[in-house]
Amino acid sequence: MEPYLTRPSTEFGNSYKQSLQEQANESRNISGIDSQIADIDTHINWLQSLEQPRDKRHGVQQSVFWLVNGNNYIGTIIIRHKLSGRHPSIASHVYYEIRPSERENGYGKLILKLGIQEASSLNLKFLIASCDADNIPSLEIIKYSGGTLFARRIIRENGAPVTVLLFKIRISRK
Residue 35: pLDDT over 70: no
Distance, CA of 23 to CA of 101 (rounded, Å): 9
* Segment 80-112, tens digit of pLDDT: 988 887 788 888 999 999 999 999 999 999 999
% of the chain with per-residue pLDDT over 90: 53
Contacts of 138 by beta carbon, 8 Å cutoff, 6+ apart: 108, 131, 132
When the pLDDT of each residue in the chain is averaged and rounded to a whole number, the result is 86
The pTM (predicted TM-score) of the whole model is: 0.86
Residue 50: pLDDT over 80: no
* pLDDT on residue 54: 64
Residue 74: count of CB within 10 angstroms of its CB: 25
Query: Checking DSSP bridges between strand 4-6 and strand 62-69, what pairing results, if any?
Result: antiparallel
Distance, CA of 41 to CA of 170 (rounded, Å): 35
Domains observed in the chain = 4-125 (3.40.630.30)
* pLDDT on residue 27: 65
Question: Do residues 168 and 128 make contact, with C-beta atoms less than 8 angstroms apart?
Answer: yes
Average pLDDT over residues 34-40: 63
123 phi/psi in degrees, rounded to 5: 60, 25
- Host H or E run for residue 140: helix 136-144
* Segment 140-173, tens digit of pLDDT: 999 999 999 999 999 988 889 999 999 999 998 6
